[in-house]
Amino acid sequence: MIDGLLIGLTVGFPVVTGLLARGLPGVWSRRLLVVLTTIVLIVSSLLLLWRGPYTYTLPEFWDEVIVVLDFILLFYFLYLGFRIRHPLVVVLTLLQLVPLAYFEASLPVIHVEPTLAIDFLAIIMCLIICVIGSLICVYALSYMDEHEEHLHLAKTRQPRFFLYMLLFLGAMNGLVFANNLYWLYFFWEVTTLCCFQLIRHDETPQAEKNAALALWMGLIGGVAFVASLFIGYYQVGNLGLNSLMSAQPAAIILLAFACLALAAFTKSAQVPFHSWLLGAMVAPTPVSALLHSSTMVKAGVYLVLRIAPALQGTALTSAVAFVGGLSFLVTAVLAISQRESKRILAYSTIGNLGLIILCAGVNTPLSMVAALLLLVFHAMSKGLLFLGAGIVENRVYSRNIEDWEGLIARFPLISAIMLVGMFTMFLPPSGMLLAKWVTLEAVASSPAQWAITLVTILAVGSAATTLFWSKWMAHLLFHPSTAERAKREKLQLPYLASTITITALDIAVSVIAAVLVAALVIPTVKPWYAVKLALPLLNLSTGIGAFPIWPLFLVMAVALALAVMVFRAKGGKLVSPYMCGENVEGAPASFRSTADLEFNFDASGMFFDRALGEPKTNRYVTAVGILLTVLVFALALVV
């Protein structure tokens, strides 16, 4: 009984509470529903972890319900296409609607046993969705009040907002549990709907335009998914994902996997489909956090990780690796030129998703371990960074990181939280650095002939990543010596509960990363790959090298202790810095230079605008991405 109950609580419960949040009047009823959903989802996901993997078959009645709901959803997309006057949305919807109508009319039954298959990969995804996603919804309780106050709305739009936020969580859980490809496709399209509605939430012309972009790019993935349904059914004889995975890798089967890979690229915003995620930054910050950390884009990498074992030893897996590698390299470099906080985070997300897809394409036991570690730690760190950025934006009324200079002196608590998020993205001894180290080990030790190319991509992309994160951290930490020391700012309870919980989780899971590897990562990889990892004293050894998790944390603890001691030390003399000229007396931030003119000292970042101009660079990147996408399908025909 508990098996069905856990599925109902993780998939159905957030849908029900989302509908209630839409229909019930009053702020407190909505708050209660969101908090209740958070508690239920977190507890249910932990119980699912305790229960372990299992399969579940639902009565055929539910297949018919899914079919009906899917057609309603497609007709709604068709309506949207006409309403927003977007021919591409109409055409892409019809390319799904017509084949599926034929499919439904000609097929005797779409029932698959088991309907749902909950393995360790699904459990990892469920934990990310239910824990991180739910905490983002809690954060939104305070953020949306401030956001609507800033917009001066006469009538709140929060009931609709929380409907789609909670529906998103339920649909994502359904997506990762589904073994029936038709069910997977339905939940896939529900996430497209939620994404569209949440991006257009503010109803500005830019929001409407960017939501339409996300919609038609998502529908490209839907068309590819429908193609995989047809190919899979007529080759395997049913719609079971497990059946497709176990089929012999003939060219036509690989074509079905190529279609699924294309759908995944659109969802995870890989080049050349990356523009929709950049456009999604017009949405309220909780939407950005949800899209980047626990929903939407994670659906794409989940699908690639799910089908990767079936691609072992094929040319298609190499093409997948290069799509991910290109996305990682290009977006890491482009992020250097960005001043807007959410845009930097968006490029970083695309790049890290590309890194996960690169690992899945390398398709070795070690690379799959790396992909799963990246999946987990990116969800926590990126979710935390978006939440912090949203709080800062509502206080300084700017997303430009140059306007955030000296933030540590003005808002020490939220600055510290953001610094933890940035630190855990690329510095030792964080879990993300561990994941990237395993990635480098996996690619370098790969027998593939193109390994040296991918190692080069990793090296250049990682260098660019270090540059843009370090630059942003410097903006937060830099402030003139005359700046007043501020007291810790007061934050609302939803802000504190969400940000501090995710911060604690990020640090704690990094500390016990070896336990994560032993309890979840290795069991996920082991059914398909021969994993050879050692965990001596809760450190990680690959047989090629070792990552000393605990020693690095001890060194970090000592360094922090010394920093606190120095910070609190009394005495000493504060002097003005020398600024290559005569310092102006009484003005520590001014100096005299040529012709005895007085200049004010100013610190600024380097953004390389001319060299890395987005419009021109993105055109070239998109062209290369399209060629790589074509290559994916060409190589699908080469076993």
CB 175 within 8 A of CB 181: no
- What letter does residue 519 receive in the DSSP assignment? I
Q: 155-170 burial, b if ≥16 CB within 10 A, otherwise e?
A: eebbbebbbbbbbbbb
Token pair belonging to 446: 């790969």
**Angle (deg, nearest 10), helices 451-477 and 412-426:** 170
**pLDDT score recorded for residue 324:** 95
Q: Is the predicted pLDDT of residue 60 greater than 80, yes or no?
A: yes
Instruction: Look at residue 584 and give its three-state secondary structure.
Output: coil
Confidence tier at 630 by pLDDT (50, 70, 90): confident
**pLDDT score recorded for residue 53:** 96
Per-residue pLDDT tens over the stretch 473-501: 988 887 654 445 556 778 999 999 999 99
Q: Which of 60-64, 148-152, 455-459 has the lowest mean pLDDT?
A: 148-152
CB 442 within 8 A of CB 362: yes
Token pair belonging to 479: 């402030």
Q: What is the mean predicted confidence (pLDDT) over 196-214?
A: 96
Q: Which of 324-328, 428-432, 460-464 has the lowest mean pLDDT?
A: 428-432
Cα four-point dihedral sign 596, 602, 608, 614: negative
Q: Is the predicted pLDDT of residue 200 greater than 90, yes or no?
A: yes
Instruction: Please provide the DSSP assignment of 90-137 as one string.
Output: HHHHHHHHHHHHHHHHH-S----SSSEEE-HHHHHHHHIIIIIIHHHH
CA 359 → CA 318, 375, 429, distances in Å? 10, 11, 21
Q: Is the predicted pLDDT of residue 637 greater than 90, yes or no?
A: no
Confidence tier at 12 by pLDDT (50, 70, 90): very high
Q: Which of 65-79, 179-193, 301-315, 476-490 has the lowest mean pLDDT?
A: 476-490
Per-residue pLDDT tens over the stretch 331-340: 999 999 888 9
Instruction: Please provide the DSSP assignment of 416-439 as one string.
Output: HHHHHHHHHHHSTTSHHHHHHHHH
CB 197 within 8 A of CB 280: no
Per-residue pLDDT tens over the stretch 281-318: 999 999 999 998 877 899 999 999 999 999 998 889 99
Mean pLDDT of the chain: 90
Geometric angle at alpha carbon 66, from 269 and 133, rounded to 5°: 45
Question: If you search the block for the tokens 């007043």, which residue do you land on?
Answer: 484
CB 10 within 8 A of CB 130: yes
Per-residue pLDDT tens over the stretch 381-437: 999 999 999 999 998 888 988 888 888 888 989 999 999 999 999 888 899 999 999
Q: Is the predicted pLDDT of residue 561 greater than 90, yes or no?
A: no
Geometric angle at alpha carbon 576, from 572 and 581, rounded to 5°: 150
**pLDDT score recorded for residue 483:** 47
> For 317, phi and psi rounded to 5 degrees?
-65, -30
Each domain of the chain, given as residue ranges in start order, spans 1-248+286-302
Q: Is the predicted pLDDT of residue 571 greater than 70, yes or no?
A: no
CB atoms within 10 A of CB 79: 13
Q: Is the predicted pLDDT of residue 378 greater than 70, yes or no?
A: yes
Q: Which of 37-46, 63-72, 225-234, 242-251 has the lowest mean pLDDT?
A: 242-251
CA 407 → CA 75, 213, 386, 490, distances in Å? 48, 34, 16, 15
194: left (phi over 0), alpha (psi -120 to 50) or beta: alpha
Burial class (CB in 10 A: 0-12, 13-18, 19+), 285: buried
* Helix (H) and strand (E) counts in the chain: 27, 7
**pLDDT score recorded for residue 611:** 65
Token pair belonging to 426: 């690329």
**pLDDT score recorded for residue 153:** 84
Q: What is the mean predicted confidence (pLDDT) over 66-94?
A: 96
Q: What is the mean predicted confidence (pLDDT) over 174-189?
A: 97
Q: Which of 109-123, 204-218, 436-450, 457-471 has the lowest mean pLDDT?
A: 436-450
The Cα 284–Cα 349 span in angstroms is: 17
The Cα 527–Cα 530 span in angstroms is: 8
Q: Which uninterrupted H or E stretch holds 79? A: helix 60-83
Higher-confidence position of 566 and 425: 425
Question: Which residues are within 8 A (CB) of 639 and not within 5 positions of it... i.e. 6 or more apart?
Answer: 249, 250, 251, 254, 314, 315
> For 592, phi and psi rounded to 5 degrees?
-100, 135
Confidence tier at 103 by pLDDT (50, 70, 90): confident
